[in-house]
Structure 1
Amino acid sequence: MKKSNLALAIAAVFAVPSVASAQSTTTETEATPEPERIQVVGSRLSVRTATETSSPVDIITGEDLMAAGFTETARALQYAIPSFNFPSSSITDGSDAVRPASLRGLSPDHTLVLVNGKRRHTSALVHLNGTTGRGSSNADLNAIPISAIKRIEVLRDGAAAQYGSDAIAGVINIVLKDNTEGGSAAVSLGQTYEGDGEQLKLQGSMGINLFDQGGLTLSFEYHSKNRTNRAGIDPRQQYPLLEDGSLDPREETFDRQSHHVGDAEVSNSALFFNTFYEIGDGELYGFGGWSARVSESGAFYRRALDPRNLEEVYPDGFLPILAPETNDASVNFGYRFGLSDWFADASIGYGESEFIYKLENSLNASLGPDSPTEFDAGTLVANEFTANFELSRFIPFVNYSELSLTLGASYRENAYRIYAGDEESYIDGEFDGRPAGSQGFTGFRPDSEVRESRSNRGLYVDVENQLTDDFQWGAAVRFENYSDFGSNTSWKLSGRYALTDSLSVRATANTGFRAPSVQQLYFTNISTLFVNRDGELVPEQSGTFNNISNVARELEIGNLRPEESQSVSAGVVWSGTNGLSLTVDAYQIEIDDRIILSSALIPSDSEAVADALAAAGADNARFFVNAVDTTTRGVDVVLAQNFDLGAYGRLRGQVAYGYNETEIDRVQLPAILDGLEDRLFDNVERTRMTRSVPRNTGTISFNHRLNDWTTHLAFSYFGEYTLENNQGVQTSFSGKWITDLSVQYQISDRLVAKVGAQNLFDVYPDKQRPENQFNGIFLYPNTNAPFGFNGGYYYARLSYVF
């Protein structure tokens, strides 16, 4: 770590006191209760606070998520956990609707998401454009409404041995509300300082008692958000010259803020449930939910004089609108029961993500003036079925302690489907030599259709033991066998030792893996072009080819292999008698054979490539390939405390800081592609993998309660990050502080009003260099802006508790 970064970490540690624990915040007039003991992700032992665990765990309550008034689950988590990254993007096709999120600067698919401790399915979307995590698919956290969440547990440590594939960077466990009575309802309104991005959010949750034998909690949410637009003025000529060579008079009246560079327009609805019911000596449980989202975002504007436009249809040009429909559904059921001396848990679950590409205000110019202007460009579907059976018990162990032993078996099946779009979305109508396909996103062709699946079976053993009052240790081993690439075994060791009543040290070591996702195995998007070869039209294919295609075989890409990791972490924990807590955890994560989405190969790259493409009937190709080894190092710091200010109320404060840095150790491609490393994994992608996420992030937050008033104040720091353009020019964007402030008033026992501002001082990212602004239109970085580029936002919220 550089000295400047170390100095920033030390400064953050001593900046301000606060508290981080598993217990919920109490009101100013209540007595502080004995903290509830809960079981948190990464451990089978129950704990009272996050500082009792042998691995670093953050526990964010539902109240914490709503403190700053964020309307998206992933955005609220970003401001609560500095090591969690959720950048904003615009004009990135489907990624405008389902944005990538990541932990510890790694890929979005290196973080496993659980709901109530059970695996959550991932999105069907593959991030194809210039966002963080290009080529990955991640669980859509925004499909889970904040109104349904009791707390979120973030395990910042590798956990593949405990939970299976994907848990290289860590695990996010979303615990749903489980109250059996009462509930709440709320309405929120807000807009940006610029006057756009208006939002309306209706949400509620209620608990129902089931005959004193169980409960059912229902949560709903409706969220409507108008678009924001920070595009610059387009200075270019828009219309063809008149016959006399002069400019068209319409140049003077044309609205030159023609592009849409900002947040998409979104309408999202969600309904979740969580239930349990005592049957015999056991408990039947179930949970799940449904969400449906429609978003609208812009592509590049087609000027009236653009050959992709037809003036008969759009005399002033047009902005293609990508309007995908995103549907997520999941359901899990299980039964917990006693079995002799064991505690058993049997469960099944199913989750599905559907991403329907639709376009509005578009055009297939090759069909001429009769072209449709709206298209169904195809559908992606990813689903996951899981079945688990787990046995656990405590066994007498040495030194009169007890050993927590867990044995488990799992089965999982993942499937992926691609459905072709309307014929008009991809066909070449050969009108006047105009380009084929729907503008903004070309539809999936029938030869891109996919219907594939794979399965895996797993066995695991997990043990934990509080050997003495001072020493706790744990170990886990997991074996998994996949139908497509074979088997993998991973392990984890962890320990925590109390040096004094206040000071403890902890450490972990583990191996991990991430199986290639079905999206990476089978995603295909091929366009067929007819090329004149010696006077004869010959069909050639271009696009993204999966690894079972003829192109991949001719290029000797081989089957995708799992990414494998080796991780170590070490930390210190301070728990003061006055409620002060401090955790400092350093880590190193080495990942071998990371999967990338390559750049496109063309015949001129090499003779071998030209022969392979010709044999496969392709003129260019990109694909997924195991190509990169990396090492990520970092440190996470959390300092927290509660203050009793007497007549001035109670103050809760927290400081959190995260530093991470990723280095590329090796790039290795198949032998036929020797010498093409810089073509397939160029500096743009290297910079995106290592520098597009801020290395330094942090938050300083305060919650103050006095009688009926509650004030939340937070300062969030997003450090410097770097992007590179296709001309090899790197641009570094400086770090910024973002301030959030809200004030809440308890009108009555049941009614609460809140007003607040996010990004109170209207901070924007640095502007891009002029050469990267595309004629002054893209003023701000539109693919990896850590805190967006909307500026300030103010809101009001009214909630009712019953």
Structure 2
Amino acid sequence: MHLKKSLVAMMSAGVATSVAGFSTTVVAQEQSTSTVEAQERIQVIGSRLSMRTATDGTAPVDIITGEDLTASGITETARALQYAVPSFNFPSSSVTDGSDAVRPASLRGLSPDHTLVLVNGKRRHMSALVHLSGTTGRGSSNVDLNAIPISSIKRIEVLRDGAAALYGSDAIAGVINIVLKDQSEGGSVTVNSGQTYEGDGEQYKVHGNVGLELGDDGHLTLSAEYHHKNKTNRAGPDPRQQYPLVDGEPDPREATFDRFNHHVGAAEFENKALFANASVGLGEGELYAFGGVSDRTSQSGAFYRRALDSRNILEVYPDGFLPLLTPDTRDTSAYVGYKFDIGQWRVDASTGYGESEFHYRVENSINASIGPSSQTQFDAGTLITDELNATVDVSRFVPFVNNSDLSVAFGVSYRENSYQIRAGEQASYRDGGYADRPAGSQGFTGFKPASEVDESRDNTGVYVEVENMLTANFQWGAAVRYEDYSDFGSHTSWKLSGRYDLTDEWALRATANTGFRAPSVQQLYFSNISTLFIDRGNGLQPEQSGTFNNISTVARELGINGLEPEQSRSFSGGIVYNGYEGFTLTIDAFQIEIEDRIILSGDVSPQDSAAVADALAASGADNARFFVNAVDTTSRGIDVVAAKTFQLAELGELRTQMAYGYNKTEIDDVNLPALLDGLEDSLFDGVERTRMTRSVPQNSGSIAFTHTLSALETRLAFNYFGDYVLENSQGVRTEYGAKWITDLSAKYRFSPQLSVSAGVQNLFDEYPDKQPEGSQFNGIFMYPLTNAPFGFNGGYYYAELTYRF
């Protein structure tokens, strides 16, 4: 902890001087969505040293410019990326507790925590939230990409290949690198506003950036955003009896009750963000820094509590109530580094700190066990995770065989991750004993003192990477990385890559690598006991449901050992065409085998076995779930990207691009702790199997046309989301059909400074297939609450005004 405080103090002092810049170790690249970007020579992820143009690398990478992200008027970073990169999934969900505020995102159909996120080539911290409801990636945490404003982004690079040997833990599915804007002059201000066809979901956003000179050769680029969005609601009417009977007859208020009492749709939120990116020459080197802060408050609904519900107090809510979850989410990050030369060696030394705080708040609620005197707003507790990184990277070129140069890079890194759970206020969890009513704040029960934790772990990593252009046609690379963790030991991973140019137009490329993902501190230390309503064949009944971490007494008594890292073996191979009048095509196939995947198990209860009954006897919980290394999987797929620009003489320019992604995950084996063997149907049931393998589309794609004629730019995009499958607790599987989503927009530039845009997202007002009647909860939840690939808000139209200076 002394080391962390010292490094943070040094970093803070560097930020205070306002001299900092971006780390030029960015990602590998594959296919640009912009002709200009395709011609720009940039340093790339997946290759620490080599300068590449688009399609020149050994691994597939999508490069999306900031202009591409904003072309369709999408206002959220993660959603914009979803529409730009078909292999990236960002499904919508509702009534999923904290996941309504920080939604899971994933790459290649794997878990959200299998993708490493970098900013300017440096590791970004994860969200403190653990996804506990029925969303994709249940039991995982992910980086909140929406905490990074689009206005701060120069481009995003998505490496679709394993890269643990290069960057360490989490890079199993791939790497997303966000490169921040870095201009030293000029800027822009944009105002955006729109709403859905239904007339809800109104939003407005003001964002912009400005570049300032710093010294003789430096820059300071500031980006800011204010974003407000109202909720959408696609809930059906509630046909159920709402009030207790009056003398055996329905209460007259049943006839006038507003039966649209649930909130099923996008959450309401307000987001404020400020980011900075700077660099300046200092001595013989370059001092750089970047970072930002994002503060978001959101509001979403839980299940409605009817007036006759035992969870309600009629004196407080005579007509029932809808508990509202209103968490505050705050992300803070800062990096400081210095790049300099020692002889022929290039040295990059940096330190960075990131923190995510997820503060649970519940409004319009009650603790029924306290009775009529209960308060209606609660502080339900806080989750905090922070990450400290310190790295030194060294690189140079050395003479090699065949008159070629060998690029050599090596480095050392230190990382410390911490996790805290702070209990909510006492009223959010205590049992007041009133009339046998359930305890805790309704909608989300507060964290109890028994759940409080303040733990950390650290690791040190060293790596060596070499790369060589042996001949004019053959390029190869190799990397090895060793990591040592304070809590579960060490791991070594490696990567080999190669590319052979058959002709000036055609090339073959391939990679092979091993990888790993260390269990997150959230998975290691998260625990909570709360009141849930569970149907065990006799209707919904309140139970004390516990999530126990692996250092708990319950876990030890059930023979559940500490979590181990997930380990992967990945192979990819592809073909690249880069020739005919600027036409580019890449086709890449991949296979990713993962052993010991970590899952959040299903519930086990005393009825399941004597061992479970004994373990739970003193815990105060009626059932339990755990994080366990339980599943081996294999994922296979193919990615296709094509692009071409047509010069149409007096008719202007037409840019076209097509992207397609296919992925399929299969479960190879399930391994459970010895004392829980035989409980597979409880610990890893059909619901979780389906969620892991079919809850996101196996097929997705996009076709986009951008036409420029003088000052007018028009964009038409067709986005394809393939079918997906969900399963309910009764074992009923439902397939939701594939859909095409059409976006249309136009931009007119009145001058180099002023432009106006307008457009429609989901032009033809497409919705997901409705749930089967038996899954609609009395017709209230018409659409699937989780994993809807493009949401269930329907069409949306907007207008945007931008001023550049």
TM-score range, shorter chain: over 0.9
| Pick aligned residue for 1:144 from 142, 148, 159 | 148
Counterpart CA distance in 1 for 2:696 and 2:391 is 36
**2:591 aligned with 1:599, yes or no?**
no
Do the aligned residues in 2 keep the contact of 1:20 with 1:641 (CA within 8 Å)? no
Partners of 1:24 and 1:631 lie apart in 2 by 34
Structure 2 residue 323 is matched with structure 1 residue 309: no
Name 1:458's counterpart in structure 2: 461
**Are the structure 2 counterparts of residues 617 and 94 from structure 1 closer, same or farther at C-alpha, using a change threshold of 3 Å?**
closer
Cα separation, 2, equivalents of 1:123 and 1:617: 29
1:590 aligns with 2:557: no
**Distance in 2 separating the partners of 1:528 and 1:735:** 37
Q: Which moved more, 1:209-218 or 1:343-352?
A: 209-218
Query: For each residue in 1:358-403, what CA deviation from the matched residue of structure 2 results, as whole angstroms up to 9, or x when unmatched?
Result: 0110000001111000000000000000000011000111111111
Give distance in 1, aligned partners of 2:50 and 2:147: 29
Q: Cα gap change, 1:721/1:190 in structure 2, threshold over 3 Å: closer, same or farther? A: same
Q: Give the distance between the partners of 1:633 and 1:555, measured in 2 at CA.
A: 35
Match in the other structure for 2:95: 91
Contact 1:37 1:46 (C-alpha < 8 Å) held by counterparts = no
Equivalent residue number for residue 730 of structure 2: 727
Task: Pick from 123, 130, 139 the counterpart of residue 126 of structure 1.
Answer: 130
Aligned to 1:763: 766
Could you tell me how far 1:50 is from its partner in structure 2?
A: 2.7
Candidates 203, 209, 214, aligned match of 2:207: 203
Taking the TM superposition and a 5 Å limit, the aligned residue runs for 1:440-479 are 440-479=443-482
Say whether residues 1:231 and 2:247 are aligned partners: no
Alignment partner of 2:55 out of 51, 58, 66 = 51
Question: 1:660-697: CA deviations, max 9, x gaps?
Answer: 00000000111111111111000000000000010000
Q: Which residue of 2 aligns with 1:62?
A: 66
Partner AA of 2:117 in structure 1: V
Alignment of 1:553-632 (within 5 A): 553-614=556-617, 618-632=621-635
Rounded to whole Å, the distance in 2 between the matches of 1:233 and 1:23 is 44
**Residue 509 (1) aligns with residue 512 (2):** yes
The equivalent residue for 2:277 is: 274
The 1:464–1:20 alpha-carbon spacing in structure 2 relative to 1, beyond 3 Å, is closer
Contact 1:208 1:216 in 2 (8 A): yes
Contact 2:33–2:64 (CA<8 Å) still a contact in 1? Answer: no
Query: Which residue of 2 is the match for residue 7 of structure 1?
Result: none
State how far apart, in whole Å, the 2-side matches of 1:120 and 1:738 are.
31
How far residue 43 of structure 1 moved from its aligned partner, in angstroms, is: 1.1
Residues 1:23 and 1:761: Cα distance change in structure 2 (over 3 Å) = closer
Runs of 5+ consecutive residues of structure 2 not aligned to the other structure: 1-28, 533-542
How far is 1:211 from its partner? 2.5
Counterpart of 1:97, as a letter, is: A
Q: Give 1:78's aligned residue.
A: 82
2:326 and 2:273 mapped to 1: Cα distance? 19
Deviations 1:428-480 (A, max 9, x none): 00001111000000000011100000000000001111111111111110000
**Cα distance, 1:241 vs. partner?**
1.1
Matched, 1:429 2:432: yes
Structure 2 distance, partners of 1:542, 1:184, is 51
In the other structure, the counterpart of 2:388 is 385
Distance in 1 (alpha carbons) for counterparts of 2:779 and 2:323:
20
Distance in 2 separating the partners of 1:666 and 1:770: 34
Determine the C-alpha separation between the residues in 1 that align with 2:558 and 2:742: 51
> Is 1:549 paired with 2:538?
no
Instruction: Letter of the 1:765 partner, please give it.
Output: P
The question of whether the paired residues in 2 share the 8 Å contact of 1:653 and 1:700 is answered with yes
1:787 matched residue in structure 2: 790
Instruction: State how far apart, in whole Å, the 2-side matches of 1:34 and 1:756 are.
Output: 26
The answer to whether 1:186 aligns with 2:190 is: yes
SS of 1:688's partner is: helix
Residue 658 of structure 1, aligned match among 661, 675, 678: 661
For residue 29 of structure 1, what is the aligned residue in structure 2? Answer: none
Shift of 1:253: 1.1
- Quote how far apart the aligned CAs of 1:608 are: 2.5
* Structure 1 position 601, deviation (Å): 1.2
SS of 1:685 mapped into structure 2: helix
Q: 2:35 touches 2:645 (CA, 8 Å); kept in 1?
A: no
Q: Which amino acid aligns with 1:628?
A: V
Does the aligned pair in 2 maintain the 1:50–1:56 contact within 8 Å?
no
Q: Partner of 1:595: helix, strand, or coil?
A: strand
1:287 aligns with 2:287: no
Separation in 2 of the partners of 1:323 and 1:123?
A: 17
Distance in 2, matches of 1:420 and 1:98, equals 20
Do 1:551 and 1:618's aligned partners in 2 also have CA atoms closer than 8 Å? no
Matches within 5 A, 1:702-713: 702-713=705-716
Gaps spanning 5+ residues in structure 1: where? 1-18, 27-32, 530-539
Kept in 1: contact 2:163–2:174 (CA 8 A) = yes
Equivalent AA in structure 2 for residue 702 of structure 1: F
1:146 & 1:38 partners in 2: Cα distance? Answer: 21
**Aligned partners of 1:77, 1:475: CA distance in 2, in Å?**
30
Whether 1:681 and 2:715 are equivalent positions in the alignment is: no
Q: What amino acid does structure 2 have at the position aligned with 1:723? A: L
**Residues 23 and 249 (structure 1), Cα distance of their counterparts in 2 relative to 1, 3 Å cut:** closer
Q: Distance in 1 between matches of 2:70 and 2:52?
A: 23
Letter in 1 for 2:659: A
Question: Secondary structure in 2 aligned to 1:621?
Answer: strand
Aligned residues: 767
Counterparts of 1:577 and 1:230 in 2: how far apart (Å)?
48
Secondary structure of the residue that 2:624 maps to in structure 1?
coil
- The answer to whether residue 42 in structure 2 is matched with residue 35 in structure 1 is no
Cross-structure match for 1:354 = 357
TM-score, normalised with respect to structure 1:
0.94
Write out per-residue CA displacement over residues 575-603 of structure 1, whole angstroms, 9 at most, x where no aligned residue.
01410000000000000000000112111
- Check the 8 A contact 1:691/1:721 in 2, yes or no: yes
TM-fit CA distance, 1:612: 2.9
Q: Distance in 1 between matches of 2:379 and 2:554?
A: 27
Structure 1 residues 597, 754: closer, same or farther in 2, change over 3 A? same
Residue by residue, what CA displacement relative to the aligned partner does 1:60-113 show, whole Å, maximum 9, x if unpaired? Answer: 000000011100000000000000000000000000000000000000000000
* Distance (whole Å) between structure 2 residues aligned to residue 617 and residue 97 of structure 1: 30
Q: Residue 455 of structure 2 aligns to a residue in which SS?
A: strand
**Match in the other structure for 2:110:** 106
- The letter for the 2-side match of 1:165 is S
Deviation at 1:422, TM superposition (A): 0.6
Instruction: Determine the structure 1 residue equivalent to 2:649.
Output: 646
| TM value normalised by structure 2 | 0.94
1:670 to 673, 693, 706: 673
The corresponding residue for 1:158 is: 162
Q: 1:398 to 1:344 in 2, by over 3 A?
A: same
- Alpha-carbon distance in 2 for matches of 1:135, 1:391: 37
> Secondary structure at the residue paired with 1:95?
helix
Q: Distance in 2 between matches of 1:416 and 1:186?
A: 37
1:5 — aligned with what?
none
Q: Percent identity?
A: 71
| 1:258-312 CA distance string (max 9 Å, x none) | 0000000010000000000001110000000000000000000001111101110
RMSD: 1.4
Are the equivalent residues in 2 in contact too, given 1:184–1:205 (CA < 8 A)?
A: yes
- Are 1:334 and 2:341 counterparts? no
Q: 1:12 maps to which residue?
A: none
Checking the alignment, whether the CA contact within 8 Å between 1:44 and 1:464 is kept in structure 2 is no
Q: Secondary structure at the match of 2:625?
A: coil
